[in-house]
Amino acid sequence: MADALTLLVGLGNPGPEYAGNRHNVGFMALEAIARRHGFANPKSRFQGVTAEGRIGGAKVLGLKPKTYMNRSGDAVAAAVQFYKLAPKDVIVLYDEIDLAPSRIRVKQGGGAAGHNGIRSIAGAIGPDFWRVRIGVGHPGNKDAVHGYVLHDFAKAERVWLDPMLDAIADEIGLVIEGKPELFMTRVAERLTPPRAAQTQDETG
């Protein structure tokens, strides 16, 4: 089982006009992982773009569906069928408006919570894949959600966005190893500034 394949999927919409959108944070996270771990030879396959690499001892195929968010399941199902994977071998990274910015939650299975990409994948391969939910915050008004997720991250949001993407890239191996709680803890620790009291103690 050491060489079993993990399919790591980042969700987003293709095209430069969407590249900086909050809805594309799954693409951003997968791109950060691919850079960090030296994934090689991007190819157009499975109605998406794939790149292969290793994270720790695990063989990983990264996949960015090019089917647009609402049909993400088409690309994921094509890869799953080709490699004869089970849903538990699939990890999907995507934006979550019901989590505060930079908060990360990992779970296996569950509902789509209104996310069309997750709904599409669940419809294609069943619900029992792993989800890495990446908090992008909520606009505060349900009617504003569509425009909010299809807008670029503000320049000021890079203060937390870039360190979060780096932390996900560094620690994602823990999810692949079946240690999602430790992954969430490690990412949170890296994004939480030191307490003021600790800083004062250190400076005397």
Q: Give residue for tokens 């094509």.
A: 78
Query: Which residue(s) pair with 111 in the sheet?
Result: none
- Which among 164, 204, 6, 171 is positioned nearest to 92, based on CA atoms? 6
Active-site residue (options: 23, 37, 115, 138):
23
Q: Give 111's contacts (C-beta < 8 A, 6+ positions apart).
A: 127
Total Cβ atoms within 10 A of residue 100: 11
Query: Which residue(s) pair with 21 in the sheet?
Result: 152
Contact 79, 47 (CB under 8 A): no
23 labelled catalytic? yes
Q: Give 119's contacts (C-beta < 8 A, 6+ positions apart).
A: 112
- Which among 133, 46, 132 is positioned nearest to 85, based on CA atoms? 46
- The bridge status of strand 90-96 relative to strand 130-135 is parallel
Q: Which residues are marked as active site?
A: 23
